[in-house]
Amino acid sequence: MTTATDTSTVYDQLIDRIKDIDLLGGSATVLGWDQEVMMPPGGIEYRARQLAQLAGLRHEWFTDPRVDELLSACEADGELNADPLSPPAVNVRELRRDYARKTKLPSELVAEEAKLASLGQHSWAEARKKSDFEHFRPVLEQIVDLLRRKAECYGWAVGGEPWDALAEDFEPGCTAEFVAGVFGPLRDRLQAFLTKLMDGPRKPSNTFNEVEIPIPEQEKFNRIVAEAIGYDFKRGRLDTSTHPFTTGSHCNDIRITTRYRADGFNDALAGTMHECGHGMYEQGLPPEHIGTPMSASISLGIHESQSRMWENQVGRSLAFWKWCHPRVVDSFGDRLEGLTLDDAYGSANNVRPGFIRVEADEATYNMHVMVRFELERAILNGDLAVKDIPGQWNAKYKEYLGVDVPDDARGCLQDIHWSMAAMGYFPTYTLGNLYCAQFFEQALKDMPNLHEQFEAGEFGELKTWLNKNIHAHAKRYRAADLCEHLTGKPLSADPLMRHLEAKFGPLYGI
Ligand SMILES: [Zn+2]
């Protein structure tokens, strides 16, 4: 018979092993960061081999049958699992989930996926350059076929669909039905709102987006803002890279990046605040559980809720600009010729329906994501053939955003995701915006003077609230459960729509 003491030893053995495996993952993370930020181009060939070796070792160690034995022993212990939300119970639950998923895929399929993802990216880049979807179509057909087989290996719940199985990698517990249930009302209300907005009698100022500010000065300013909102430079770095990202081997060593253009002050600042939000989530995870699921983020959607919190709810608010505007004038005043608060705040909040997702504003962004979700769901269900993607894409852009997509490069070839065999990923961007708005409404209920605080340059109380209510839980809850636990309600489109209407209504005079 297993005694409690025996089993706690088994749990310790499991956690020791998992922490060892995490050292490999953390090392790979730093090498990956180095590749994007520091490495000279000549290093690429060996770096790819270094990363492949670490990934292989990590997979081998994690899928070792001994991990299965240790997990089974822990699962059999009633005392350890008495409170299913305790850190040991959560760790065992999450590790079992990972183990099951990693051992469900045949190694030939994993190898085929790696090959197709590499081929896919190459073919996609060529096709995008030539704006020729037909060039990419054969590889994408192979990718879709592979993803449908991969979904079959994972399986999905009764009444579910292949999309659910793939989304598990990005948003555990999320289903296409759940996403459609929230996105449907959001799409209809957003579409009506955007029409009204574009016909509104006023337009916000855009002058601050036309000013050039030398990049070294922008870098200095972005660091000041990052520090002010609470990004911890003793446990984090801020560098530049071609595509901004956040990474880190554990909560005490987080790396964020941003990018600058002389005529893109607002884009860089918003980007920095966005990545700070991701970084502060990681820095807020419990350090005592480093290397285990109890020191890891819930999902990409919740991650994005944290980045959007600082980028949009804080960084694009009037209160923030009341604090930031005099600082901007102080730092760059000689170039700004009478820049008013309205100019600064308006320039951060211009709405322009367009066809490029990554250039979209806060109000139209989610439409781009919904187009992708509807298409990938139909593709995986066999309701849409790959050859029909461009036509469907363009029709949805016309319907939802009222824009004519000029060519495939600026249409269905603009994103890298599908070429990397990632389907089930896109909706996490909009789920993030939805969770963000719902969390922020709750934060305002708990701290009604938040906006006055922002105006005074005080951001600590919001950060502490996020630390306590979201970050400290690590993987304790699924995203949808955390939302109900924290806000008392299931995820809904209402808070995001209320936020967009309250902000853009006055700016556009409606
Ligand atoms: Zn993000």
Q: What's the 278 CA to ligand 1 centre distance in angstroms?
A: 7
pLDDT tens string 433-472 = 999 999 999 999 999 999 999 999 999 999 999 999 999 9
Backbone angles phi, psi at 230, to 5 degrees: 115, 10
Tokens found for residue 298 = 């819930």
270/331 Cα distance (integer angstroms) = 18
Cα torsion for 36, 42, 45, 47, to the nearest 10°? -40
Higher pLDDT, 5 or 78: 78
Q: What's the 264 CA to ligand 1 centre distance in angstroms?
A: 19
Residue type, 18: I
Cα torsion for 124, 128, 130, 132, to the nearest 10°? 70
Q: What's the 361 CA to ligand 1 centre distance in angstroms?
A: 14
Q: What's the 12 CA to ligand 1 centre distance in angstroms?
A: 34
Among candidates 254, 257, 255, which has minimal Cα distance to 242? 257
Strand order in the sheet with 253-258: 236-240, 253-258, 246-250
Spatial neighbors of 457 by CB under 8 A, at least 6 apart, are 228, 323
| Res 504: pLDDT | 97
The string of DSSP letters for 311-369 reads IIIITTSHHHHHHHHHHHHHHHHHHHSS--HHHHHHHTT-----S-GGG--TTTHHHHH
315 confidence band (pLDDT: 50, 70, 90): very high
Residue 250: strand, helix, or coil: strand
Among candidates 162, 139, 140, 135, which has minimal Cα distance to 151? 162
Give yes or no for a contact between 48 and 31, defined as CB atoms under 8 angstroms apart.
no
- Mean pLDDT across the chain, nearest whole number? 95
Q: What's the 307 CA to ligand 1 centre distance in angstroms?
A: 6
Higher pLDDT, 236 or 56: 236
pLDDT tens string 254-302 = 999 999 999 999 999 999 999 999 999 999 999 999 999 999 999 999 9
99/89 Cα distance (integer angstroms) = 15
176/182 Cα distance (integer angstroms) = 10
pLDDT tens string 14-34 = 999 999 999 999 999 999 999
Q: What's the 19 CA to ligand 1 centre distance in angstroms?
A: 27
44 confidence band (pLDDT: 50, 70, 90): confident
To the query of whether residue 112 is one of the catalytic residues in this protein, the response is no
Of the chain, the end-to-end C-alpha distance in Å amounts to 71
Q: What's the 302 CA to ligand 1 centre distance in angstroms?
A: 10
Ranges of H-type helices in 230-317: 265-283, 300-308
Q: What's the 135 CA to ligand 1 centre distance in angstroms?
A: 30
Separation of CA 384 from chain center: 27
118 confidence band (pLDDT: 50, 70, 90): confident
Among candidates 347, 339, 272, 342, which has minimal Cα distance to 310? 272
Tokens found for residue 404 = 């004519």
Give yes or no for a contact between 115 and 104, defined as CB atoms under 8 angstroms apart.
no
Please state at what angle helix 389-401 crosses helix 365-380, rounded to 10 degrees.
150
The single residue of 94, 168, 275, 441 carrying the catalytic annotation is 275
Q: What's the 244 CA to ligand 1 centre distance in angstroms?
A: 9
| Res 8: pLDDT | 58
Residues belonging to the chain? 510
Cα torsion for 47, 146, 416, 349, to the nearest 10°? -130
pLDDT tens string 208-242 = 998 999 999 999 999 999 999 999 999 999 999 98
Report the greatest alpha carbon distance in the chain: 80
